[in-house]
Structure 1
Amino acid sequence: MGYVDSHTHVWFKETLPKEFFSNNSGYNYVPPKIDEIIKEMDSANIDYIVIIAYPSREIWRTKEDFPINTINFVKPHANRFSVIGGIEPNRITLHEAKEWLEKQYESGVSGFKLHPVHSHVKPNAYREEEGGLKQLELLYQFAQDHDLPVVIHTGTSMFIGSRNKYADPIYIDDVSVDFPKLKIIMAHMGRPNYVSTAFQIVRIRRNIYAEISSIPPKKLLEYIPRLEEISYKTIYGSDYGGPGVKGIAENLREFLSINITEQAKENIASKNPKTMYRPLSELI
């Protein structure tokens, strides 16, 4: 059984804009070498990792070409990587949103990411009472029509420029109701402030899935004591590349040592992510 790390920020120097290295986020990221990442994956029996290559003008200076640049760079190792794209719906026109979604889809993304806290947009901002943002509605509709998941960040962010009033997962409930066939991945399960809300929404909404990246594995059962109850729809991720995450291999080893059944571990770290995300080799 090989594993999947379904949430990483393994960003390579060759794919990042020059402005990234002068950003004021408060976090100095050192890009890894691709051969080093693959070697670490091999040591931990990780079949492939999911790279979250989302646009964030405010925090990272990245735009909608970032996932395409990432795909082009990792193509020689297409069976070891899966790439998540996305748009900043409140920063581009409706026409631009349509163009970028189509370009990213044709390039081989395995899903899209929305980061409300970094993009300063509520996940339900497409609704008329929340502003009627048509670009966001298009993102959800496009993903639903093409059977691609949408990863939505929940929980606070420490980076300068983040606005944590958008961190509450309750707004995702609207998305679940309005797009019932859309697969919604609730990244980080609302940690630390909103875990109870996130857990309840995952339990009651058929199309919302839990994703546990950035929660230290040793603390995971403190955050989510009933994790095993939702293991059939929970997805493992490390958030490697983010602050405090020690490494892809070490984070996985710590997760595999927690006190849940082996079946639950297999579901969370292998079966479920493989069902949700396809490697690039199957998409190009």
Structure 2
Amino acid sequence: MLDGRPLIDVHLHPARRASLKLDWATWMQGFTPPAGLYDEAGDVRPAAFDAYLESEGVDAAVALAEYSPRVTGWQTAEDMAALAAANPRRVYFAANVNPHLHYPVADELERQLALGAVALKIHPVHAGFPADDQAMYPAYEICQSAGIPLVIHFGTSTFPGALNRFADPALLDRVLSDFRTLNIVLAHGGRGWWYDAAAFLALADPRVWIELSGLPPSRLQTYYAKHNWARLTRRMIFATDWPGIPGIAANARAVAALCPDEETASRVLAGNAMEIYHLKPAL
């Protein structure tokens, strides 16, 4: 709990230093981890990670697997499952599949779901494929049938090798049309060139959600200035893109202060995530 409210962060990257392609300083982006959070090899200690989240007021967190050797490297589902095992009521994780690496993608997604994944995160910009790639459709069908969300990196990336053309919102049109009951979470909320597109999609379609990872709270109202703020905030899900942030609690307090009322703040900080990701933290 943070200031009497439940808090869920659905976008964290507790990466292993040895499997990162990026250099450590670029990855950390100025974040100074508390003593003991990482071991000597640069791996997050599961119990320390759980304690850190508790200290930030986080009731549930979703760590992200990522198979993007082109840009960021490898953060496996097994890595994330090991973190979740330290406290399954607080730490969850999202699967990741890459059609250039996994075939059939459905088999790999089923394998990661069996490890305990609660969502599928895809990373077209880092992995180098369009979101409407037909090779991904079997994975989307699994998500729709299982009732788990599809999380899509929806914004620019400045990391070397990123292909930002694959974040074009037009690529979502066919997916939304072909999967009529699939919840889609727009990670990074259209960061860079597509804030208006993200807002339009979230306001027009009740299956689409804006996820706030990597967006400074102080800039949110500027990013979405063309849209009804009171309506749009109800379509938002709190997230940070940890570790490159000032702090989870600091971001959460800043986001809550922007919400038009207490009900909306509670939905943004936890309620929407609990509904869409089916999380059951120990509150």
- TM-score, normalization by structure 2: 0.84
Partner of 1:163: 163
User: How many residue pairs end up in the alignment?
Assistant: 263
Deviations 1:55-98 (A, max 9, x none): 212122216xx11332134302111111001100233322xx23
* Contact 1:25/1:59 (8 A) holds in 2: no
**Contact conserved, 1:110 with 1:277, CA < 8 A, in 2?**
yes
- Partner-residue secondary structure (3-state), 1:55: strand
The correspondence for 1:101, drawn from 96, 109, 124, is: 109
Note the alpha carbon deviations across 1:198-237, whole angstroms, 9 max, x for none.
1111111232111121110111111123332133332111
Q: In the alignment, is residue 57 of structure 1 matched against residue 56 of structure 2? A: no
Matches within 5 A, 1:1-284: 1-11=5-15, 13=16, 18-20=18-20, 23=22, 27-29=26-28, 32-62=44-74, 66-94=76-104, 97-126=105-134, 134=135, 136-225=136-225, 226-241=228-243, 243=244, 245-258=245-258, 260-279=260-279
Q: Structure 1: how far apart are the matches of 2:206 and 2:11?
A: 21
* Helix, strand or coil at the partner of 2:92: strand
- Structure 1 residues 254 and 37: CA distance shift in structure 2, 3 A: farther
Unpaired runs of at least 5, structure 1: 127-133
What are the Cα deviations for residues 244-283 of structure 1, in whole angstroms up to 9, with x where unaligned?
x11222221222232532221111111101112244889x
Q: Give the Cα separation in 2 of the matches to 1:168 and 1:142.
A: 24
Gaps of 5+ in 2: 29-41
**Aligned-pair identity (%):** 23
Q: Contact between 1:149 and 1:183, CA under 8 Å: does it hold in 2?
A: yes
Q: Distance in 1 between matches of 2:10 and 2:107?
A: 26
- TM normalised by structure 1 equals 0.84
Pair 109,188 (structure 1): closer, same or farther in 2 beyond 3 Å: same
**Whole-Å separation in 1 of the counterparts to 2:236 and 2:159:** 26
CA distance in 2, matches of 1:213, 1:227: 18
Aligned-residue offset at 1:190: 0.8
Question: Aligned Cα RMSD in Å?
Answer: 2.3
- Structure with the higher fraction of residues in helix conformation: 1
Q: 1:174 to 1:25 in 2, by over 3 A?
A: farther
Q: 1:165 to 1:110 in 2, by over 3 A?
A: same
The letter of the residue matching 1:230 is L
Matched residues in 2 for 1:139 and 1:88: separation?
Answer: 10
CA distance in 1: counterparts of 2:118 and 2:52, whole angstroms: 22
Matched-pair contact (CA < 8 Å) for 1:59–1:162: yes
Pick closer, same or farther for the CA change 1:150–1:218 going to 2, 3 Å: same
Give the secondary structure class of the aligned counterpart of 1:189: strand
In structure 1, C-alpha distance between the alignment counterparts of 2:68 and 2:278, rounded to whole Å: 24
Question: Deviation at 1:174?
Answer: 1.6
Contact 1:84 1:112 survives alignment (8 Å): yes
CA contact (8 A) 2:83 2:91 kept: no
Instruction: Name the SS of the counterpart of 1:260 in structure 2.
Output: coil
Q: Secondary structure at the match of 2:246?
A: coil
Determine the structure 2 residue equivalent to 1:131: none
Task: Indicate the SS of the match to 1:59.
Answer: coil
